[in-house]
Chains A and B, each alone.
Chain A
């Protein structure tokens, strides 16, 4: 058995309100190991607004400012501005939002903060739907997925928004994808983001939701790992919107990933072949970006 080189210092309490097998909970635990004590979290409406605990409790050992759904990024910008006026330069301000609070209702505020290059880290923990409200589709929900608002034959026929490319296009100093199934890589990226002070940094974390995806809770990490191995969720970093670094290269067919999840079980062989084709094309586009750098 391989031992991971991960600190055993935790900033998350052992008990919280997440579902069994919650990828978002794993993501927070790992991220805080990298970010450390001098961190202020800003959390909008999302699963983590619940997981962090109701008044007067908290499941985390760092300060949390809860804010409204559309406002994670700019609330963090405000916290940063306040700390700057107080002369606090050591604290890292982190907005921690789900895919809805990043891709959909939060994208205006996020784009604004990134364009102003406000000194914050924005983390999107992506579970590919509105899970806290009971699995409704978001613009992060992938093609082929069933949710409670894309049910039956109405399964989602449009693609997932390419969020990291949107953020890279803002020219931010650091944009990266990370995955709960690659903890050392994830921690390295959070540490790197923390060190790159002075502007907006964006980390897109793949965070399984076995409850919403129709999979056994013990498959949370396995499914996440397959997402990267199948090149559905490639792990890479973009610096200044220009320099691309690929961290993992997948070689597994998408069937291995799709077949583990109830949300895709209605798909025909033809549908799956279509998804494979799209994944191959997307990965080729990404590899092209590597070669020009």
Chain B
């Protein structure tokens, strides 16, 4: 049955349905609604879990690291500066191979203070060893959260479920909330690989000298590769119960398209509409939505893009001194082709600025009308340059 709920609450509902044992939380806009709802479920007994109202996001992640080490299911949520403060513990969670799930609402970093949509916070955590899954809408947020627990517990890596600030987190949409029994069918009780136990004492996450550290890093890499291998299979399991799937990538009318637009998150929905509108005007482009940023499904992306002449990557993020982050990754994936498409990179929608249908049209037309991209990224919708 569908309920009209906001994106944040789609995640909270999924956490409840996943029968999570320990949740920690610290408020930060625009994430706060997620942990507010969960603390309410815990207070009124809808959810049988411990909610730890910690004093910082660093502590939020440390608390679930501690709890997960006892072999229970854990969750926390954050945004932006909170995620930045968590950074050290993100490394700890992944290095410890703990299947923690984190709800992350993309938000810009200050200064200047900005509470709005921007992917720079989560993408800056690229190398922490977390799986990152980006969602387009409330239903996908709900489904991805449930999926994340299953995936995390299969590969022993933490998973970040990422939604757009406000465009998803605070937008009310009809969302199918699954029955508990169906969730239980898909998500069995967590069977931990290791758990702290005084009857079987050992040390966890201790000093690792050069003779062992590198193998430990390699095992995280292998788990990421394994994730790519089993992702489809886990989606089959999800699909069998809930009749929905998203893929690591989604190809939207990419067959025989000369130009393919690469998008993430809620901007994909806007692009879908523009694609339909422009098709009526005789203009045709494909859309490639990337859901999985880590592990990066380079092979699948390469397959999807290899026949196109031009690829336009729309980045809602920026790596200073370099370019849009998804564009860099896509270019890297296409390196294996001897004659791959040329890649254009457009920057738009930073700090909560809208990515309007006009911006999507502009991306398409600018790519259509030029044979080669200019050097570097192109910023769309910014004011004329102030030379002072």
Binding site for B on A (CB under 8 A): 37-40, 42, 49-50, 52-58, 60-68, 70-71, 74-86, 91, 108-109, 111-112, 115-116, 118
Which of A66, A78, A108 is in CB contact (< 8 Å) with B206? A66
Asked whether, in the complex, the Cβ of B201 is within 8 Å of the Cβ of A60, the reply is: yes
Q: Once the chains are docked, how many angstroms separate the CA of A20 from the CA of B53?
A: 42
12 examples of A-B residue contacts, CB within 8 angstroms: A49-B206, A62-B198, A68-B89, A74-B52, A74-B54, A81-B22, A82-B67, A85-B50, A85-B67, A108-B55, A108-B56, A109-B62
**Which of B49, B200, B204, B209 has a CB less than 8 Å from the CB of A85?**
B49
B235 to chain A, nearest CB (A): 29
Tell me whether B63 and A81 are in contact (CB under 8 A): yes
* B187 sits at the interface (CB 8 A): no
Docked-complex contact A40 and B206, CB < 8 angstroms:
no
A55 proximity list for chain B (CB < 8 A): 203, 206-209, 212
Chain B residues within 8 Å of chain A by Cβ, number: 41
User: Which of B69-77, B256-264, B354-362 has 4 or more CB atoms under 8 Å from chain A?
Assistant: B69-77
Task: Choose from B50, B54, B204 the contact partner of A64 (Cβ within 8 Å).
Answer: B204
Residue numbers in A under 8 Å from B88 (CB-CB): 68, 70
Residue B67 contacts which of A50, A58, A66, A78 (CB distance < 8 angstroms)?
A78
- By a CB distance below 8 angstroms, the chain B residues around A52 are 203, 206
- A61 contact set on B, CB distance < 8 A: 201
Across-interface contacts of B55 in A (CB, < 8 A) = 74, 108-109, 111-112, 115
- Contact A79 to B67, CB < 8 A, known contacts A71-B62, A109-B62: yes
* B58 beta carbon closer than 8 Å to chain A: yes
- Look across to chain A and name the residue whose beta carbon is closest to the beta carbon of B204: A65
> Inside 8 A of A67's CB, which chain B residues have their CB?
62, 65-66, 92, 205
Given A63-B203, A78-B52, CB of A54 within 8 Å of CB of B208: yes
State how many angstroms separate the Cβ of B190 from the closest Cβ of chain A: 11
Q: Is the CB of A39 within 8 A of B198?
A: yes
Within 8 A of A (CB), among B29-76: 49-50, 52-56, 58-59, 62-72, 74
What are the residues of chain B within 8 A of A112 when measuring CB–CB? 54-56, 59
Report yes or no: A63 in contact with B65, Cβ–Cβ below 8 A. no
Are the C-beta atoms of A81 and B67 separated by less than 8 Å?
yes
Per CB-CB distance, the 7 closest pairs between chain A and chain B, nearest first, are A78-B66, A82-B70, A112-B55, A71-B62, A78-B63, A82-B67, A75-B66
A70 to B65, CA, bound (A): 13
Binding site for A on B (CB under 8 A): 21-22, 24, 49-50, 52-56, 58-59, 62-72, 74, 88-89, 92, 196-198, 200-209, 212
Q: Shortest Cβ distance from B214 into chain A, in angstroms?
A: 12
Determine if B203 and A58 form an interchain contact, defined as CB atoms under 8 angstroms apart: yes
Q: Is the CB of A82 within 8 A of B92?
A: no
Given contacts A63-B196, A63-B197, A81-B52, contact A58 B206 (CB under 8 A): yes
Q: A55-B209, A111-B55, A116-B52 are in contact. List 20 more A-B contacts (CB 8 A).
A: A57-B203, A58-B201, A64-B206, A65-B69, A66-B203, A70-B62, A74-B52, A78-B22, A79-B67, A80-B66, A81-B66, A82-B66, A82-B67, A82-B71, A82-B72, A85-B49, A85-B67, A86-B71, A109-B55, A109-B62
Whose C-beta in chain B lies nearest to the C-beta of A17?
Answer: B207
- Collect the chain B residues with CB atoms within 8 Å of residue A74's CB: 52, 54-55, 59, 62-63, 66
User: B58 is contacted by which of A38, A53, A71, A91 (Cβ under 8 Å)?
Assistant: A71
Q: What's the least CB distance linking B94 to chain A, in Å?
A: 13
Chain A residues contacting B207 (CB-CB under 8 Å) are 49-50, 53-55, 66
Contact A77 B203 (CB under 8 A): no
Cross-interface CB contact of A54 among B22, B65, B209, cutoff 8 Å:
B209
Q: Most chain-A CB neighbours within 10 Å: which of B89, B196, B202, B207?
A: B196
- Neighbouring B residues of A91 by C-beta, 8 Å: 198
CA–CA, A39 to B196, complex, Å? 10
B50 to A84, Cβ gap below 8 A? yes
Task: Provide the residues of chain B in CB contact with A77, threshold 8 Å.
Answer: 52, 54, 63, 66
Are B62 and A68 touching (Cβ within 8 A)? yes
Q: Min CB distance, B49 to chain A, in Å?
A: 7
Q: Which of A66, A91, A116 has the most CB of B within 10 A?
A: A66
User: Contacts of B89 on A, CB cut-off 8 Å?
Assistant: 68, 71
Which of B49, B72, B201, B204 makes the CB contact (< 8 A) with A62? B201
List of A residues within 8 angstroms of B68 by Cβ: 78, 82
B58 surroundings in chain A (CB, below 8 A)? 70-71, 109
Does B196 contact A79, Cβ atoms closer than 8 Å? yes
A176 smallest CB distance to B (angstroms):
24
